[in-house]
Amino acid sequence: MAKKRLQKKREATKTAASKSTAPVKEAVKVEAETAKVETKKVEPVKVETKKVEPAKVETTKTEPVKVETKKVDAVKVETSKTEPVKVETKKVEPVKVETTKTEPLKVETAKTESVKIESHKEDTAKVETSKTEAPKVSAKEAAAKIPARDDDAIYCERLSRHLDELKWLYCELYQDNPYVTMHLNDLLTVLKKFYDMRSNDLKESDIRRAKDPKWYKRNDLTGMMMYVNAFAGTLSGLEKKLDYVQECNVNYLHLMPLLESPKGRSDGGYAVADFRKVQEELGNMDDFAHLTSECHKRGISVCLDFVMNHTSEDHEWAKRARAGEREYQDRYFFFDSYDIPSLYEQTCPQVFPTTAPGNFTWLDDIHKHVMTTFYPYQWDLNYRNPIVLNEMIFNMLYLANQGVDIVRLDAVPYIWKQLGTNCRNLPQVHTIVRMMRMICEIVCPGVLLLGEVVMAPEKVVPYFGTVDKPECHLLYNVTTMASTWHTVATRDVSLLRRQLDIVAGLPRDYVFQNYLRCHDDIGWGLDYDYLENFGIQEVPHKKYLNDFLTGKYPDSFARGELYNDDPRLGDARLCGTTASLCGIERFGFEGNEEGVDRAIRYDITLHAFMLSQSGIPVIYSGDEIAQLNDYSYKDDPDKAADSRYLHRGNFRWDLAENRNRPETVQGKLFPVLDKLEHLRMEHSVFNSEVPIRTIDTWDDSILALVRENDEEKFIGIYNFSEFDKVAWINEDDGMYTDLISGRELEAKGVQIPAFGCFWLCRRKK
């Protein structure tokens, strides 16, 4: 009877296995390792697998035993005191069996699972499990009937969902490469290895987030971006400061570039010499992994830049290319003469026309030109070479396995170069980003892609992809940020209102990352076609904006500096902290208390506006304590030429100590921002999927936006003028409460102070 039951069980297993493995027959070919087992006077053990002939293990005193498997999926070990060991398969990697004359038999599976079988005189098997996986179910779990996680089954299901499209896109992108199939198989094989290396905690996080795909779209995420060295010196130092990070209500921490880059030629960390090594002065990769683990314990997601357009000239690939190795020169764009580079220059714009003019650099030591779209020490990668794509994806997955939750794709529009084009936003870029999205959903679905697309509005949105074929999960809301500072300088909200209406018209699945300031400059990529309707011309308007925000314009309260000023094109960008651009710096140095209070109010209003937008708000470290411009960068020869260091100064911990002293600037700003952040988290109306619209205020300097769901109606009112005003709105649906002050009022003819704001809210039920 036992034999018949065993036979029926095996037949059922074969039937189930044939169904579960069918979709992925063309996937990664996993070659099972042949394990040699030396035994001494033991009984033969039979290992049976599905879809192959049973492999017999025969032993003698001198011959080793070979266990051969083909396409073995999973191993389930069942034990009894009198019957031989039974092995049934279930979609996991083939096992490797190793024994010695004195050691007990060990069965090793994938890196995350570890099953140890110890043999006894009675030929029974004892199963011991590792801490990360649980083939042996505890009594409590058994009672609750909790099934063990089948990692390989999970991976195969994810792979089968995307395999056809992934193969199609890859082969289409590299159809001219005779070895495209080989490179595709290499990619697929290594993806599985990175999945196997992913820790148990990260796999569990992946599963939770896959079950809750809207986890990043709700109103409970608040971000902060910072340089580790400026904030806390080292990675371990930052770990010690996480209490302060949490005090700022931050659960989304964006760490600026921290991978190895050469001193003096780092571009703020964006010239990466090693994608798997941390800058020595910050610590090491173990410190980084420990930091991300501690962040996860506190409910903080970690974002890290992935610089994918170029490497440092100190990268191993670049060094080997410079040494003459053709294989590595093919990973960049090398030319013996200037003939082809000159053709590129005819259509490819310059990123830094004043500090790094041109798109190519002459290497005198090897007499070749190399493409350098950004700085001469940043060599552009050639994604026409499939090896480059594969290796960069592997680098991305390596960082994801260190605990990175959000991968910021730096300069992603630039990654595909094609002669005769502007080398920006080409279709191949979207193909690559789509493949990266699918690869993340296969290997690490808990990881988000954040696209850095600093382009005109019509170029930004396509990086979301489509609802059916998504690309980036998140995009920077660059145009709204720039339009906000345009409004600060002009006191006219019409352009900003138009931008908000455009964003409001996009699918609710599209999630923006909103911000006032970041590590970078403010570029004036505005909607000039719209502004021309009012007689506003691009070049003179940019000059006005820069003059006002650098304090050159009469009575301007702002204090900033220009970056990459090109008088010929009038295309300079702007640098400065939020506090300095709002007037806290000017009035503080003048000793004008009334001016300082008004500037603090404006700082609060701008943050309130940013927090009420649809998406994820991110505050730049230091803005919460009104940190001013740091002009000391001019004394550092490695930084003096880059005015962006004006707002990248060291965090002022001495000022942070004032955050609980109401008479100080910090004591007037920090608690209000804290309150706004809590209000946003407490009210469902701030969920990213809640519709948003603007309404008329009948005043060019006052903006009003409405968010409304079944539970609440919210009206945000923002005065961009230095004068007290009346917002002539006329919402006649009852009384509202200003969430900031607690004051009850009607949403009609609202009197609003200079540079002030209201968050009016009415509960529906």
Write the CB contacts of 529 (distance below 8 Å, at least 6 apart in sequence): none
Is 374 within 8 Å of 383 (Cβ atoms)? no
- In 3-state terms, what secondary structure has residue 194? helix
Alpha helices in 447-513 (DSSP H): 457-460, 478-490, 494-504
Helix axes 386-401, 180-197, angle to 10 degrees: 10
- Tell the residue number behind the tokens 């994820």, with chain if given: 616
The rounded Cα 485 to chain-centroid distance in angstroms is 25
Concerning whether 410 is annotated as a catalytic residue, the answer is yes
Cα torsion at 176, 178, 181, 182 (round to 10°)?
-130
Q: List Cα–Cα distances, 296 to 205, 293, 516, 616, in angstroms.
A: 9, 5, 26, 18
Which one of the listed residues 452, 471, 571, 585 is annotated catalytic?
452
Catalytic residue among 410, 585, 624, 630, which? 410
Q: Quote the Cα angle for 297-298-303, to 5°.
A: 90
Instruction: Give residue 148's Cα distance to chain centre.
Output: 31
Query: What is the phi/psi pair of residue 302, to 5°?
Result: -115, 130
Tokens standing for residue 303: 């974002």
Tell the residue number behind the tokens 């039974």, with chain if given: 86
Find tokens 């990675």 and name the residue: 235
CA dihedral 388, 393, 398, 404 (to 10 degrees): 130
What number of other Cβ atoms are within 10 A of residue 197's Cβ? 15
Give per-residue burial for 335-366: e unless 16+ CB within 10 Å, then b. Answer: beeeeebeebeeebebbbebebebbbbebeee
Note every long-range contact of 527-531, with CB atoms under 8 Å and residues 24 or more positions apart, other chains counting. 527/456, 527/457, 527/479, 527/483, 527/495, 527/498, 527/499, 530/495, 530/498, 531/495
For 177, counting Cβ atoms within 10 Å of its Cβ (0-12 exposed, 13-18 middle, 19+ buried), the class is middle
Distance CA 453, CA 522 (A): 13
Name the DSSP letter for residue 353.
T
Q: What is the DSSP letter of 738?
A: E
Q: Is 555 a catalytic residue?
A: no
Tokens read off for 204: 């569990």
Token readout for 473 is 């999960």
Report the C-alpha gap between 89 and 736 in whole angstroms.
Answer: 63
- At 746, list the tokens: 């009607």
Give the pair of three-digit tokens for residue 136: 């042996």
Angle at 317 between CA 314 and CA 321, to 5 degrees: 95
Q: Catalytic residues, which ones?
A: 410, 452
